[in-house]
């Protein structure tokens, strides 16, 4: 069974921080690029960050640039999303997704073309509220 499992979500006050984890089971993330997406109630899914399979090349959505950091630890088969200076607009369900292919070995996949991703996690809820 191939799975991605997100964890680390929860309730946090504005200005606070959370670190999300995306752990793979049943396969190795070594050759996969990873994207983080979120979906707020009544809104479409939004790509927020992605990272290449190797070399740690990243992209960020404008809304999170300078606040969020994506990292990939192939040894631990886990990708992280460090979220700082959180805002109420960051509230939503956060998903990680894995993209297979040599196209993404040294460049990140798309934040808009979700068909580039092969596996998706179930999501973890992040709520930013005072």
What pLDDT score does 122 carry?
96
Half-sphere exposure of 128 (CA within 13 A, CB side): 18
Give the helix, strand, coil percentages of the chain, each rounded to 5: 10, 45, 45
Residue 112 has what pLDDT? 94
Averaged pLDDT in 10-residue chunks for the chain of 130 residues: 93 98 94 96 95 96 98 95 98 97 93 93 97
CA 81 to chain centre: 6
User: What letter would DSSP give residue 24?
Assistant: E
The residue with tokens 């670190």 is: 19
- 8: left (phi > 0), else alpha (psi -120 to 50), else beta? left
The span from the CA of 38 to the CA of 49, in Å, is 10
**pLDDT at residue number 1:** 77
Q: How far apart are CA 29 and CA 64, in angstroms?
A: 24
């Amino acid at each position: 069974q191939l799975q991605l499992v997100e964890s680390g979500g929860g309730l946090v006050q504005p200005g606070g921080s959370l670190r999300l984890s995306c752990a793979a089971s049943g396969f190795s993330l070594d050759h996969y690029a990873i994207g983080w997406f979120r979906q707020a109630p009544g809104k479409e899914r939004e790509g927020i960050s992605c990272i290449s399979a190797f070399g740690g090349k990243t992209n960020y959505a404008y809304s999170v640039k300078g606040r969020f950091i994506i990292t990939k630890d192939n040894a631990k088969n886990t990708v992280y999303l460090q979220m700082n200076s959180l805002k109420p607009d960051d509230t939503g369900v956060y998903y990680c997704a894995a993209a297979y292919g040599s196209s993404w070995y040294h460049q990140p996949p798309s934040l808009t073309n979700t068909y580039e991703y092969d596996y998706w996690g179930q999501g973890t809820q992040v709520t930013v509220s005072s």
